[in-house]
Amino acid sequence: MSAEQCVDTLGHAGQQAASLMFTHHGGMGKRMLAGQAARAGVFGALLAANGYTNAPNVFEAEYGGFPAAHTGNRRPPAYDLSELTRGLGTEWQSRGVNFKMWACRVPNHATLEAIRGLRKQHSISADDVASMEIRLGKGSYQNVGWAYTPTTITSAQLNIYYVSSLMLLENDVFVDQFTGGKISSPRVLDMISRVRVMHDPSMDDNGYQGTPVKITMRDGTVYEKIGQVRGPKGEDPITRDDVLTKFRKMTATFWPTATQDRVIRLCDNLENLDDTRELLSMLEIEHLPPVDMGGE
């Protein structure tokens, strides 16, 4: 094993032990974060099914238990165990699942929605933009507001300077906006130089919502809008057509329109299907193209 591989090994080990945030600044490790909990759950189920036992008080243990360890073992406890069973059997979390309409980190979405909304109301050409100001609360600022340096596609996906600039330049933030050449393109870097991101302490309790965006044009015209992350509800909810458009964009490189239409029809009628083998066959891994990691 080379010295570089040893360093990678330490990074992977640290990430898998704690899902550390350092991975968003480089490498391919960020792609694994979302799957760690699922992998642990499946592995845990397989262990239990094969007779491997474990301590029965992972949540209740005051020393080394999951809630206690992750809240600093404070006294009184900084957690409420009754939340574990609140709504059990009556509330279904799947109803609150949201669709990400942009291929980037969620704290960026409100900004992109603000730009999208302004573009619906006004004719805004990227070449005519003199500056753009984005204000964020502390959490969002720490997560996405760090100064942009072209390193990896993963880093670009998380950085608000990059994604907001691409939204101005190409009116989209999806797969095509993240390529090895584009993340260091002079045109993109020029647009990034016109973006100012700042921490606004008055927004620290806002979460990812309510992001103010101000665009100043070269002729002095100013456009302002407070962006909101779109969800199933709200003033500008994600619609069925939005979801279908995203599905078609994601599958356009390997499925013709007729195949897309067939999958949509099968999914729409899923509860009435006597046999799901056709749908499952279409979704089998060997029938889909390899994942393009963008040269990361």
Delimit the domains of the chain by residue range: 3-96, 106-227, 240-287
- Secondary structure string (H, E, C) spanning the chain: CCHHHHHHHHHHHHHHHHCCHHHHHCCCCHHHHHHHHHHHHHHHHHHHHCCCCCCCCCCCCCCCCHHHHHCCCCCCCCCCHHHHCCCCCCCCHHHHCCCCCCCCCHHHHHHHHHHHHHHHHCCCCHHHEEEEEEEECHHHHHHHCCCCCCCCHHHHHHCHHHHHHHHHHHCCCCHHHCCCCHHHCHHHHHHHCCEEEEECHHHCCCCCCCEEEEEEECCCCEEEEEECCCCCCCCCCCCHHHHHHHHHHHHCCCCCHHHHHHHHHHHHCHHHCCCCHHHHHHCCHHHCCCCCCCCC
Q: How confident is the model at residue 16 (pLDDT cuts 50, 70, 90)?
A: low
pLDDT for residue 293 is more than 50: no
pLDDT for the residue numbered 295: 36
Cα separation, 209 vs 205, in Å, equals 10
pLDDT for residue 286 is more than 70: no
* Between 287 and 85, the higher pLDDT residue: 85
Q: State pTM to two decimals.
A: 0.78
Q: How confident is the model at residue 120 (pLDDT cuts 50, 70, 90)?
A: very high
pLDDT for the residue numbered 294: 40
106-227 maps to CATH 1.10.10.10? no
% the chain with pLDDT above 90:
53
Q: How confident is the model at residue 65 (pLDDT cuts 50, 70, 90)?
A: confident
pLDDT for residue 296 is more than 50: no
pLDDT for the residue numbered 163: 98
pLDDT tens-digit series, residues 248-269: 999 998 899 999 999 999 999 9
**Range of weakest confidence among 23-32, 47-56, 131-140, 228-237:** 23-32
pLDDT tens-digit series, residues 131-178: 999 999 999 999 999 999 998 898 899 999 999 999 999 999 999 999
pLDDT for residue 105 is more than 80: yes
Q: How confident is the model at residue 292 (pLDDT cuts 50, 70, 90)?
A: very low
